[in-house]
């Protein structure tokens, strides 16, 4: 329950990042305010999950709709905390939750803006190596090899695709995220991670097509989102 509640609180902040960072705004400075009228939000407006439900998704001052990204991130982060608590005992559950929250914001940014910022992927890389000190998951050696191999594999694929096809096939953040996940999962799990993420991508494309979306060979899919989802699920299984 603690990680569920804590996840909802973390999700509130992640929602702020998802909204502000793409606009070039800071998520840590300035008071929380209504995006419509600019009113500074009070304590009752900032209770994760409950405030949105009580206010029926609208600002209490102007009646404007509250961006649902806040609610979705709070629900997602709370779910991550709950799953981590069910999968692992303390303190590994906290580590798993932190990884899940980190990957959640990366997945959301890539899905929404096809953007994997270095200020999230590079620290995740270092955190994966540092997690070896807790004896959770692979050894430090396996993590080091996984981080280097993960980055090299996708970077090579991206370079080759660009040289052969004359256009970009993978974003610059994808190899960094794959390398960061290699630092968490170890080199042995990279093939499964790539396969799992690819299956998620194909399933997403098929679902979109079934809903009437036009999927062409030039259509861009947020592969980082699928890597993040697949990576966290694999972590829950091996840690």
Q: What is the pLDDT of residues 174-230, one digit of tens each?
A: 999 999 999 999 999 999 999 999 999 989 888 876 777 766 666 678 999 999 999
Q: Looking at the structure, do residues 50 and 123 belong to the same domain, yes or no?
A: no
Is residue 25 in a domain?
Answer: yes
Is residue 2 in a domain?
Answer: yes
pTM summary value: 0.91
Q: Looking at the structure, do residues 139 and 182 belong to the same domain, yes or no?
A: yes
Q: Which structural domain, as residue segments, surrounds residue 149?
A: 115-239
pLDDT at site 232? 96
Query: Which residue did the predictor score with more confidence, 86 or 65?
Result: 86
- Domain end residue (candidates: 47, 68, 87): 87
Q: Looking at the structure, do residues 176 and 128 belong to the same domain, yes or no?
A: yes
Count of other CB atoms within 10 angstroms of residue 63: 11
Q: Looking at the structure, do residues 125 and 222 belong to the same domain, yes or no?
A: yes
Q: Looking at the structure, do residues 146 and 195 belong to the same domain, yes or no?
A: yes
- Rounded Cα gap, residues 105 and 173, in angstroms: 14
For residue 116, pLDDT over 90 is answered with yes
pLDDT, tens digit (0-9, with 9 covering 90-100), for 15-61: 989 998 998 888 777 666 656 555 566 555 566 776 666 666 566 65
Is residue 54 in a domain?
Answer: yes
- Rounded Cα gap, residues 102 and 96, in angstroms: 10
Q: Looking at the structure, do residues 138 and 233 belong to the same domain, yes or no?
A: yes
DSSP for residue 170? S
For residue 94, pLDDT over 60 is answered with yes
Mean pLDDT of the chain: 86
* Confidence class for position 239, pLDDT limits 50, 70, 90: confident
- Bin 81: left if φ > 0, else alpha if -120 < ψ < 50, else beta: alpha
Q: Looking at the structure, do residues 57 and 173 belong to the same domain, yes or no?
A: no
Is residue 99 in a domain?
Answer: no
Are residues 155 and 213 in contact, defined by beta-carbon separation less than 8 angstroms? no
pLDDT at site 51? 67
Is residue 29 in a domain?
Answer: yes
Q: Looking at the structure, do residues 68 and 134 belong to the same domain, yes or no?
A: no
Is residue 128 in a domain?
Answer: yes
Tell me the Cα Rg of the chain: 19
Is residue 24 in a domain?
Answer: yes
Q: Looking at the structure, do residues 6 and 60 belong to the same domain, yes or no?
A: yes
Average pLDDT over residues 105-123: 96
Number of domains in the chain: 2
Q: Looking at the structure, do residues 234 and 125 belong to the same domain, yes or no?
A: yes
Q: Looking at the structure, do residues 162 and 231 belong to the same domain, yes or no?
A: yes
For residue 143, pLDDT over 80 is answered with yes
- Rounded Cα gap, residues 103 and 14, in angstroms: 11
Token pair 């009646």: residue? 63
pLDDT at site 105? 98
Is residue 12 in a domain?
Answer: yes
Q: What is the DSSP string of 50-67?
A: HHHHHTTTB-TTT-PBPP
Q: Looking at the structure, do residues 128 and 219 belong to the same domain, yes or no?
A: yes
Name the percent of the chain lying above pLDDT 90: 58
Query: Which residue did the predictor score with more confidence, 68 or 58?
Result: 68
């Amino acid at each position: 329950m603690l990680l569920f509640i804590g996840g909802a609180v973390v999700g509130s902040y992640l929602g702020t990042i998802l909204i502000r960072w793409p606009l070039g705004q800071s998520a840590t400075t300035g008071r929380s305010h209504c995006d419509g009228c600019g009113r500074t939000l009070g304590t009752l407006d900032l209770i994760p999950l409950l405030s949105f439900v009580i206010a029926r998704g609208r600002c209490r001052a102007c009646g404007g709709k509250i961006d649902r990204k806040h609610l979705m991130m709070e629900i997602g982060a709370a779910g991550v905390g709950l799953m981590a608590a069910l999968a692992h005992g303390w303190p590994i559950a906290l580590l798993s939750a932190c990884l899940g929250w980190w990957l959640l914001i990366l997945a959301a940014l890539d899905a929404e803006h096809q953007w994997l910022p270095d200020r999230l992927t590079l620290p995740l890389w270092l955190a994966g190596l540092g997690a070896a000190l807790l004896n959770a998951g692979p050894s430090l050696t396996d993590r080091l090899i996984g981080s280097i191999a993960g980055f090299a594999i996708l970077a090579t694929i991206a370079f080759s695709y660009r040289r052969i096809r004359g256009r970009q096939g993978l974003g610059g953040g994808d190899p960094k995220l794959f390398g960061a996940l290699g630092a968490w999962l170890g080199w042995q799990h990279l093939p499964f991670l790539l396969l799992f993420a690819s299956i998620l991508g194909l399933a997403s494309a098929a679902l979109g097509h079934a809903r009437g979306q036009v999927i062409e060979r030039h259509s861009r899919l947020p592969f980082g989102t699928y890597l993040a989802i697949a990576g966290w699920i694999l972590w829950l299984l091996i840690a």
